[in-house]
Amino acid sequence: MVGLLVLYYGVLAPVRTVSAHTGHADRVPHRTPERQVIQGDDGWELEISASPMPATVGHWVQLAIWLRKDGTVFLGMTEVTLAVENLEEGRMVMEARVLARQGYTAQSLQLYDGGLHTVAVTVRAVGGASGWKPPTAVLSMDVVALHPPLVVQSRMMALLLSVLVLGMVAGFFVPRTAP
């Protein structure tokens, strides 16, 4: 029994003083930021940029959104609608409306399910510019799930095995009360 406890605590003891995963840049190859520009009617232009790509489960993705009129950033208030959909499950993950000053906004997303997602961004000018169709950009985003490190997997396996062995030992020494 004592040997089992020594083995249990030996496996669960920290390998290093700091064993937290501090980032994912060494595990996921990053491409350049995903960028899309949509040309609208009458000189309107919508640009969306997402970084880092591919996205990683549980880590922040930065979205930068610009609305331009005739090549310059729109100076009025804009309403930005974001809709994120998981394509593998066919369901809406998030939908939000944000008011942005002067045609620019930066939003952060954190996704918790891996797979292919689409981010649909629609921008419209608030209080003016009537009679024009608001541009919509649809960005494809691959969200990658990382596996836990081997040290974490081995510690979980040791924990589960020790619970199983303790249950077997307890079952062997506890008298049965069958009629």
**pLDDT tens-digit map of 22-66:** 333 334 344 445 777 888 777 788 888 888 878 888 888 888 888
Provide the domain limits for residue 135.
Answer: 34-144
3-state secondary structure of 18: coil
Residue 71 domain flag: yes
Give the predicted TM-score (pTM) of the model. 0.59
How many domains in the chain?
1
Residue 13 domain flag: no
Residue 103 domain flag: yes
Q: In the predicted model, is pLDDT for residue 10 greater than 60?
A: no
Residue 151 domain flag: no
Find the CATH number of the domain harbouring 56. 2.70.50.60
Q: In the predicted model, is pLDDT for residue 130 greater than 80?
A: no
pLDDT of 6 reads: 45
87-128, pLDDT tens digit by residue? 888 889 889 898 888 888 888 888 888 888 888 888 887 876
* Cis upstream peptide for 54 (omega within 30°): yes
CA–CA distance, 156 with 162 (Å, rounded to integer) = 10
Alpha helices in the chain (DSSP H): 2-12, 150-173
pLDDT band of 179, cuts 50, 70, 90: low
